Amino acid sequence: MKGLSLGLPLLVPLVNAVVAPTVDLGYTIHQASVESTKDGMRYLNFTNLQYGASRRFQPPIPPPVNRTIQSAGAYNIRCPQGEPAWLSQFGQPVGNLTEVPPVTIADLPAIDPSISEDCLYLDIFVPEAVFQAKEDRKSSVIIWIHGGGYVSGWKSLYGPGLGLMETAKQAGHDVIFVSINYRLGLFGFLADPDSNEVTCNLGLQDQRFALQWVNKNIHLFGGDPSTVTVMGESAGGGSIMYHLTSGNASYRPLFQRAIAQSPFTINIPAAMQRSTLQEVFQRANVTSFEQLKGLPTQALQTANALVVGNAMPYGTFVFGPVSDKNYLDYPPVLLGEGHYPDDVSVMAGHNTNEGVLFASPFVKSDEDYANLVSSLFPGISPTALSVVTDNLYPGNFSGEYGYADQTGRVASTIGESLISCNQYFLGEAFNRSNTSFRYEFSVPPAIHAVDLSYTFYNPSESVSGLNVTLAKIMQRYFVNFITTGQPYSHLPRDFLADDMIQNFNISRVGPSKDSVSTKRCDWWQKATFR
């Protein structure tokens, strides 16, 4: 999820002060901007560095050769976007509404000039001292994969990771921060289970292409390709799960450590893929994929925005990774089957109330709840549906099951099945090789994505409502893992117990029992309809 916008750090370009350095990548030469914090720390910002050429509905390929010196340009490039209408309904009174009003062309904003199908770009933010010493030593690398439900978001939404970099510096380390774009919505995740004409999961292919680019080129910036940590939230965290479990035995992840924050995964059945494809055709006013490929970009972007904008049921995004039964399958299942690398260290976390953002306010009865569950999981059998509605999340609002009304019931169902249980699955799998760490962010309201203001806290900024002390503790926890593989030099014994995870709260930081129901998570992982 995009979550809360933090704004850009207070970095001051050093105009007329120095000649900005360049990096020769072979196919192009890219010039940085030299920037400084108010405390005098100097950084090089390589913005809008093209890592791939995005061919419409085809896998990425290397960028074209252009030996003229490139710089950031006028815009921070973004991929075509969409946002479900239900997302804007969050926190608003529903009044007499019984559903989210439909989105029409008249409701869509003008296409932003920074948005383009040619969007496979990344940003690299590196301390000037690291760049200058790149021949002598190499620094750890963070690769940030943004969230946004696989339909929205962009590389620079949370800035250049300055807070994490400064925290690392205070701990005696240097890190390089890389953030990437990848194709979204119908551009990155259109699928057709009945034809090989449509290449699925292009957004994930873009991500892997970017990881390959970093492995090949990061040494030119002072980075160590053997100490790479991928870090992502929501769809970004879910993407990491797909990279950890995809491919065959010869396929290796292109990173040594991973931080999955609120990892969001979905399993889109074939019937839903077909109906979405037909809706895309209808919105684009075409009847075939061949016609769709030939449309002007504005027509495709409009169709994408309409399909995503009208995403139903409430709490869903329409597009996302799909199983191809060869390279990619559903990560929770694969983790349970032991299909993952044993030489990657993983940190996974969740927020206490993940599902609140996605919970429909229109569910008022047990019947409404059952209908919603059936819509969320189209392949669910009557028997499995009864287990969900009667045993796992019954209509008991005494608080015994963690909710007090129908909306809370929906929030618990969505939050655990699609997000919170994923961190449990990751922790259980990688704990077998003693390389996993789990945490819970419980600062009220602890809904999806609010922790990102802590993850990307920047001491040069003032963020309302943020506890600076806790933000620094969290960042140190992340940075220690990124640079050493251990969040703490000495973990307390009770932290290692199976049901204990690190809890981040304003009143207390330390080991505590996970708020997620492991019983319910175990059931979701084994559910055959997924």
479's tokens = 């940075």
> DSSP characters for 15-38?
TTTSPPPEEE-SSEEEE-EEEE-T
CA–CA distance, 263 with 250 (Å, rounded to integer) = 25
Please calculate the CA angle 112-117-121 and round it to the nearest 5 degrees: 95
How far is CA 480 from each of CA 159, 237, 431, rounded to the nearest angstrom?
21, 19, 18
Q: At what angle do helices 518-526 and 421-430 cross, to 10 degrees?
A: 80
In the chain, the amino acid numbered 183 is R
How far is CA 439 from each of CA 35, 453, 492, 519, rounded to the nearest angstrom?
34, 16, 14, 18
CA 65 remoteness from chain centre:
30
Q: Are 254 and 341 in contact (CB under 8 A)?
A: no
87's tokens = 């997302």
Selecting among 233, 354, 416, 440, the annotated active-site residue is 354
434 φ, ψ to 5°?
Answer: 55, 40
In the chain, the amino acid numbered 375 is S
Q: How many CA atoms lie within 13 A of 418 on its CB side?
A: 29
User: For residue 51, which of 214, 173, 167 has the smallest C-alpha distance?
Assistant: 214
> Any bridge partners for residue 351, and if so which?
441
CA–CA distance, 298 with 309 (Å, rounded to integer) = 16
Integer-rounded Cα radius of gyration of the chain: 22
Q: Are 47 and 115 in contact (CB under 8 A)?
A: no
Residue 369, classified by CB atoms within 10 Å of its CB into exposed (0-12), middle (13-18) or buried (19+), is: buried
Selecting among 140, 152, 234, 436, the annotated active-site residue is 234
354 in catalytic set: yes
Q: At what angle do helices 235-245 and 202-217 cross, to 10 degrees?
A: 80
234 in catalytic set: yes
> DSSP characters for 87-152?
HHHTTS--TT-SSPPPP-GGGSPPPPTTB-S---EEEEEEEHHHHHTTTT--EEEEEEE--STTTS
CA–CA distance, 158 with 458 (Å, rounded to integer) = 10
Reduce the DSSP state of residue 458 to 3 states and report it.
coil
Q: Which helix (H) or strand (E) holds 351?
A: strand 345-351
269's tokens = 């059945």
Q: Which residues are catalytic?
A: 234, 354
